[in-house]
Amino acid sequence: MYAQQPALGCDDKAMRIQSQQLKHDFASQGLSVYKDAMISMESHQPFPVAVQLDKGKLYQLIFIGSRDSKKIGMELFDGADKKIDERIIKNPKEQNFIVYSFTPEKTDMYLLVFTQIKGNKNMCGSFSIMQPGGQDAGQIPPPPPTAPANNKPAPTPRYVPKKK
């Protein structure tokens, strides 16, 4: 059995709309998008993301998981691999996203680890990092008002190289 490599680029329109709405809400508070991606995830497999964060700057870390998951989690580690915090949602049908406010005590590479549990299925996730100011603040258009009925990942997501 081969482990799935972390992959960017999946298509879950309802999740994308939800992500746009959250980013729009934070943009109206003067925040801009620092990092943003839709990610293909495998159940029970951690999805690590390393990101440089600056001392004293407030960041909003946003992770959206599948409403069909049994559990959604986010862990935050500093550059010395010390766990800073962990957030878990045990009933994603009620709330399928984590918003975590974080102000680093030092400029460093931080590791975010996202997980979802949903049987043996693959699923989409979305993560964004919002920061104060910048060109994007207030410029994110509001999302469309309704979600589509077909909520399945695209068979060939963009930006993901095909395996040889």
For residue 110, what are the contacts with CB-CB under 8 A and spacing of at least 6?
50, 51, 52, 53, 76, 77, 78, 79, 84, 104
Residue 93 in any domain: the answer is yes
Predicted pLDDT at 104:
97
Inside any domain, residue 144? no
Mean pLDDT over each residue of the chain, to the nearest integer? 83
Provide the domain limits for residue 128: 7-132
**CATH number for 126:** 2.60.120.380
pLDDT at residue number 134: 63
Whether residue 68 is contained in a domain is answered as: yes
Q: Is residue 155 part of a domain?
A: no
**Cα–Cα dist 121/10, whole Å:** 14
The alpha carbon dihedral of 76, 77, 78, 83 has a sign of positive
Count how many domains the chain has.
1
In tens, the pLDDT along 59-108 reads 999 999 999 999 999 999 999 999 999 999 998 888 999 999 999 999 99
Q: What is the pLDDT of residues 126-153, one digit of tens each?
A: 999 999 986 544 444 545 544 444 554 4
pTM: 0.76
User: Is 17 a member of any domain?
Assistant: yes
- Residue 80 forms part of a structural domain: yes
